[in-house]
Structure 1
Amino acid sequence: MADTSAFLDQQLVNGSLYESEQRLANRTGALMSAKITGRPTAEVIAVYAAAARPGNGNGIVLDIGCGRGASTLALTQVLPQATVCAIDASAALLGATRSRLRAHDLAVHTVRADFHHLPLPTGHAALAVAAFCLYHSPTPQAALGEIARCLAPGATVILATKAADSYASLDRLVAKAGLDPDATCRPGLYGAFHSGNLRSVTEGIFTVTAVEHEAHRFRFRDLAHAAAYLATSPKYQMPDDLAGNADAITDHLRRTLAEGPVETASVVSYLTATRSQGRP
């Protein structure tokens, strides 16, 4: 059994997890169609960003680990005078971000980079967002230090992550069905940077101003709907003929479990902080 989170496996992170946008699109689509409580995270981030008034509204804004661009779009819309720069290590996801903004007749600067080594000048950005990405770092404090380097003194950072035990009921379902008997023992996807440690990891690099935790609940309508999400998870170790195959996972679930809705939950945590006036 693997003893490291799949999100820390750099071969996966730099390869199959994000070599195209499709896995992430499938994952997000299945999860969002099951959501019954919880605000859209991009909208929450936009509210925090608007309140920060970076550079009086026209400063440089960094969306680090931008993914498919949901937060980039929200930032561009709420800060129309700002210069928004979307940053991600995946060329495919940067392409998806550009396409998303083009669909709204908006342009965005994109930079392909690892958040440990940002090809950006020191002390220029007025705001940085890093949402659902720092758990890919075995040393998130080092990544935060690099983000701090890029920010002007007094600038704001907005971070978002999830609880370490998010979607635990799905682990139990996978184990009960025999898809991965050790599912409940697998390292969590959010183990390196999660709701329980984001304040302690951030303090010392930034001055924390607020932390907010919000429960999100999900109800997949049936086993096929749950399988569409499970097929996108890098956490489980399923047989080769099942891994990544939503139809095959559905068939297996239906043979081993009673059909019906599947419920799960997560906690999404937001932290806002400011860059100190001295050196980061």
Structure 2
Amino acid sequence: MTSPENAFTHPATASRLYQEESRLAARTSALHQAKIQGRAVAEVIADLATDHLAEPRQAIVADLGCGRGTSSRILAERLRPRHLLAIDTSQAMLTAARARVEGAPTRVTCLRADFHRLPLGDVTCAVVVAAFCLYHAPDPRLVIAEIARVLVAGGIAIMVTKSADSYRTLDLLVAAAGIDAGATRRPSLYGTAHSGNLEALTAPILPIVHVEHEEHRFAFTGLDHVAAYLATTPKYELPSAMATDPDTIATALRSRVIDAPVVAASTVTYLIAKRGDAS
């Protein structure tokens, strides 16, 4: 990445991030192996939908930015909605999601679409989930407005994001090791929709009925584990020879910093908004 812009929204990089399912799988695996505190996000989403929706089994549910389909599968199993729509702009992600939801106990359709322009009619969905995806929009308010358009009266939007300073310890480590001296000054990947601004983005568009914040903590076992994560993130400006090579990153880290466990944190925010009228 050569631009100071957020890599999740920069047009020169965003389209490449999810061309292959393996990169997101490696990123998720590195974080899951490190996680020592925090609930499973997909299960929390399903809990919130159950708590705030009167009859989920009659609902049409849309899972925006469904990625590899983890939340789609949990929603299908837990809510048993009339129809679940797994939506993503990446064909690679949809292929992975389709395999994950195969055999789900409800009807599931995988749709390739831009969340700025959902291929859904007005007042269609009783639940719209947007987990860890709003920060891919340069202006998330446009996506939230699209979510509001497709919600039925009384329908709920469940939005999930992270704090802007997530994994700050890794920024400090990368800068200290000299592999990206400007690491601490790079824009947050979550800068457009994060724990600190999600309510302000949503409130003018949809009434907010519930917000909760939860700290997630991660203990990377050592520099090899850290490198496995760093090789999947677009945040840093690493030399091209090492950018996606965990072994080369780990070697470079060891040359400057002590190989020891590394603890990082991120606040995960859940927000529920409800459409209160049929207009």
* TM-score, normalization by structure 1: 0.96
- DSSP-derived class of the 1:24 partner: helix
Partner of 2:7: 6
* TM-score, normalization by structure 2: 0.96
Structure 2 residues not aligned, in runs of 5+: none
Tell me, yes or no, if the aligned pair for 2:158 and 2:273 is still in contact at 8 Å. Answer: yes
Q: How far does the alpha carbon of each residue in 1:237-279 deviate from its partner, in whole angstroms, 9 at most, with x for none?
A: 0011110111100111111111111110000000001013153
Partner of 1:189: 189
Q: How does 1:29-178 map to 2 (within 5 A)?
A: 29-53=29-53, 55-102=55-102, 108-178=108-178
Tell me, yes or no, if the aligned pair for 1:66 and 1:87 is still in contact at 8 Å. Answer: yes
Change (3 A) 1:22 1:107: farther
Tell me, yes or no, if the aligned pair for 2:81 and 2:106 is still in contact at 8 Å. Answer: no
Matches of 2:74 and 2:250 in 1, distance apart?
Answer: 35
Letter in 2 for 1:5: N
Tell me, yes or no, if the aligned pair for 1:54 and 1:61 is still in contact at 8 Å. Answer: no
Tell me, yes or no, if the aligned pair for 2:7 and 2:235 is still in contact at 8 Å. Answer: yes
TM-aligned CA deviation for residue 50 of structure 1: 1.3
Partner of 2:253: 253
Q: How far does the alpha carbon of each residue in 1:157-185 deviate from its partner, in whole angstroms, 9 at most, with x for none?
A: 00000000000010000000011000000
TM-aligned CA deviation for residue 138 of structure 1: 0.9
Tell me, yes or no, if the aligned pair for 1:154 and 1:275 is still in contact at 8 Å. Answer: yes
Quick check: 1:242 aligned with 2:231? Answer: no
Matches of 1:203 and 1:196 in 2, distance apart?
Answer: 13
TM-aligned CA deviation for residue 10 of structure 1: 2.3
Matches of 2:26 and 2:187 in 1, distance apart?
Answer: 22
Percent identity reads 47
TM-aligned CA deviation for residue 56 of structure 1: 4.7
Quick check: 1:207 aligned with 2:192? Answer: no
Matches of 1:80 and 1:218 in 2, distance apart?
Answer: 32
Tell me, yes or no, if the aligned pair for 2:83 and 2:106 is still in contact at 8 Å. Answer: no
Change (3 A) 1:103 1:231: farther
Letter in 1 for 2:226: A
Q: How many residues align?
A: 278
Tell me, yes or no, if the aligned pair for 1:54 and 1:126 is still in contact at 8 Å. Answer: no
Matches of 2:115 and 2:147 in 1, distance apart?
Answer: 7
Q: How far does the alpha carbon of each residue in 1:9-65 deviate from its partner, in whole angstroms, 9 at most, with x for none?
A: 123222x20011111000000001000000010010010111233655221000001
Tell me, yes or no, if the aligned pair for 2:134 and 2:143 is still in contact at 8 Å. Answer: yes
Matches of 2:212 and 2:105 in 1, distance apart?
Answer: 33
Partner of 2:223: 223
Structure 1's consecutive aligned runs of 4 or more residues displaced over 6 angstroms after TM superposition are none
